[in-house]
């Protein structure tokens, strides 16, 4: 199994700490467990809890020992551990093949392994060894990786606020204070940019997959602009959610790849990023052009291009070429998203 673990799910009693809370103990966390918590958190690997007991009692003790903030999901009750692990996967939006589970009880590990055979299970005695195992070593660790827990926690608060919102959705978007930060890609962005090209399909204009060496070469080439976009709101950061690769000629700005994480499709920021790129091209005296390879899942990207003023100028067997008339650009995008332009490109 080659998948890197994205989340380690912990039992609590006699695994994270040495004792049983419901028996009146006030157990201290096991030092090796705390070391693993922090080591994996630094790599962008999330932590969650699937344990037996009373939820409020366990949560209170997690808070008392200063570890509550380390976890993105806490499932404590009397049901099957596998059911709790399955709910954690659903809450975090990740596959069971990217989960690991650690528990001192061999029966609990066996139950999870039987119900969820893709989940890797470990004895609590192994907890200090986990950071050294290959499955807990992501190929890249970036600043964004180190912020992953915070981004998931912000998303939970955001989702709760949206669920409680009883006014029109447009008002909720306006209340978020969304900021789209647009800047040139740097060396530190290459791993995330590569990941976006591999993982993003619905909001992807051409489906091109760029390796890090290709992206690095384009960043250094004056004939290209590689742009990344980060999104934040009053709850926190969404991280790097957009990528654009633009080839520059004397007369045209050719968008060879535009993609946006599907996590933010409801925020309407794809059109805002495209509008920014179009107006930057026009300000530089170039005609905005975009390539599109239609797929069964990326029709929303064609709709976004058309609403942004692009018309189809050529259609081949598997590819479209679209262009925008600078004289016929649509009005400025709705003001629920503020663009923070850090590209240094005159507009």
Classify residue 149: in a domain, yes or no.
Answer: no
- Report if residue 318 sits inside a domain: yes
Q: Please, where are the H alpha helices in the chain?
A: 31-42, 55-64, 81-92, 106-115, 143-146, 148-164, 169-175, 190-199, 212-219, 269-283, 299-307
Give the pLDDT band of residue 15 (cuts 50, 70, 90).
Answer: very high
Given a cut of 90, whether residue 246 has pLDDT beyond it is yes
Q: Is residue 172 domain-shared with residue 292, that is, in the same domain?
A: yes
Would you give the distance in Å from CA 261 to the centre of its chain? 7
| Residues paired with 13 in a beta bridge | 17
At residue 1 the predicted structure's pLDDT band, cuts being 50, 70 and 90, is very low
Residue 227 sits in a domain whose CATH number is: 3.40.630.30
Helix 81-92 vs helix 106-115: crossing angle, to nearest 10:
60
Is the domain of 228 the same as that of 81?
no
Residues 210, 243: Cα–Cα separation, whole Å: 11
- Percent of the chain residues topping a pLDDT of 70: 97
User: Is residue 347 in a domain?
Assistant: no
pLDDT digits over 71-111, tens only? 999 999 999 999 999 999 999 988 999 999 999 999 999 99
Average pLDDT along the chain: 92
Residues 253 and 176 in one domain: yes
143 within domain boundaries: no
Mean pLDDT across the stretch 224-236?
Answer: 96
Q: Is residue 304 part of a domain?
A: yes
Number of domains in the chain: 2
Same domain, 176 and 63: no
Q: What is the mean pLDDT of residues 198-219?
A: 86
Average pLDDT over residues 203-222: 91
Q: Based on the domain organization, do 43 and 185 belong to the same domain?
A: no
Is residue 66 a part of any domain in this protein? yes
**Containing domain of residue 233, as a range?**
167-341
Rounded to whole angstroms, the Cα distance separating 255 from 277 reads 9
CATH of the domain at 35: 3.40.50.1000
For residue 33, the model assigns a pLDDT of: 98
273 and 183 within one domain: yes
Tell me: do 123 and 221 sit in the same domain. no
- Check residue 333 and give its pLDDT: 66
Whether residue 345 is predicted with pLDDT greater than 90 in this model: the reply is: no
Q: What is the spatial distance between Cα 210 and Cα 198, in angstroms, rounded to a whole number?
A: 8
Q: Could you tell me which residues are beta bridge partners of residue 137? A: none
Query: Is the domain of 134 the same as that of 187?
Result: no
| Residues 173, 132 share a domain | no
């Amino acid at each position: 199994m080659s998948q890197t673990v994205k989340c380690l799910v912990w039992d609590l009693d006699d695994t994270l700490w040495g004792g049983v809370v419901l028996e009146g103990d006030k157990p201290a966390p096991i030092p090796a467990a705390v070391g693993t918590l922090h080591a994996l958190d630094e790599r962008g690997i999330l932590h969650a809890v699937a344990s037996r007991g009373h939820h409020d009692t366990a949560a209170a003790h997690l808070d008392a020992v200063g570890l509550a903030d380390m976890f993105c999901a806490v499932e404590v009750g009397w049901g099957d551990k596998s059911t709790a692990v399955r709910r954690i996967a659903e809450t975090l939006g990740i596959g069971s093949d990217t989960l690991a589970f650690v528990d001192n009880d061999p029966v609990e590990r066996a139950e999870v392994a039987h119900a969820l055979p893709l989940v890797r299970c470990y004895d609590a005695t192994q907890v200090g060894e986990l950071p050294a195992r290959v499955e807990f070593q992501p190929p890249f660790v970036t600043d964004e990786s180190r912020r992953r827990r915070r981004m998931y926690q912000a998303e939970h608060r955001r989702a709760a606020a949206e669920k409680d919102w009883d006014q029109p959705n447009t008002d909720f978007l306006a209340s978020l204070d969304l900021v789209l930060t647009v800047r040139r890609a740097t060396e530190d962005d290459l791993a995330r940019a590569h990941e976006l090209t591999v993982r993003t399909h619905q909001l992807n204009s051409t489906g091109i997959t760029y390796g890090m060496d290709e992206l690095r070469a384009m960043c250094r080439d004056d004939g290209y602009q590689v742009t990344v976009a980060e999104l934040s709101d009053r709850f926190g950061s969404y991280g790097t959610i957009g990528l654009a690769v633009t080839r520059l000629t004397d007369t045209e700005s050719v968008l060879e790849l535009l993609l946006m994480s599907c996590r933010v499709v409801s925020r309407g920021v794809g059109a805002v990023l495209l509008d920014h790129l179009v107006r930057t091209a026009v300000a530089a005296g170039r005609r905005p052009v975009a390539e599109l390879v239609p797929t069964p899942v990326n029709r929303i990207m064609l709709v976004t291009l058309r609403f942004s003023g692009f018309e189809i100028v050529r259609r081949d067997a598997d590819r479209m070429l679209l262009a925008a008339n600078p004289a016929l650009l649509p009005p400025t995008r709705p003001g629920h998203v503020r663009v923070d332009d850090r590209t240094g490109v005159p507009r």
